[in-house]
Amino acid sequence: MSDDVEREGWGPYPLILAGAAVAVGSVFLMDPRWGGFALGGVIMVGAALRFSGFGGPLAVRGRRADAITLGLGGFMLVLTSLLLYNQAAKALIESLFSR
């Protein structure tokens, strides 16, 4: 093993895992809208950490591919949670795709 892998260890993985567990718990216990928003935010924090060079078990592919994948997934979760109970925004998006 190289020195970088030994030094980094788990990296930010426990922080992201704890945040995701709290967000999923809030989906079931409180409000799906806020839980989805929190989960998307945690995933985007993971994307930022992965892009800045931290990895640990978050490092699956290259740094750029991981950051883009996590960032897009987190953004889609945040967007979906914001649109969950907003009928006007749903109608606007549906009108864009109904052509």
The count of domains in the chain is 1
* Domain around 89: 3-97
In whole angstroms, give the CA distance from residue 83 to residue 77: 10
User: Tell me, what's the pLDDT at 50?
Assistant: 83
Q: What is the mean pLDDT of residues 2-23?
A: 72
In whole angstroms, give the CA distance from residue 24 to residue 42: 11
The gap between the terminal CA atoms of the chain, to the nearest Å, is: 55
Q: What is the mean pLDDT of residues 63-70?
A: 87
Model confidence at 2: pLDDT above 70: no
pLDDT category at 3 given cuts 50, 70, 90 is very low
The predicted-structure confidence for 29-64, as pLDDT tens digits, reads as follows: 988 888 989 999 999 998 888 888 776 766 678 888
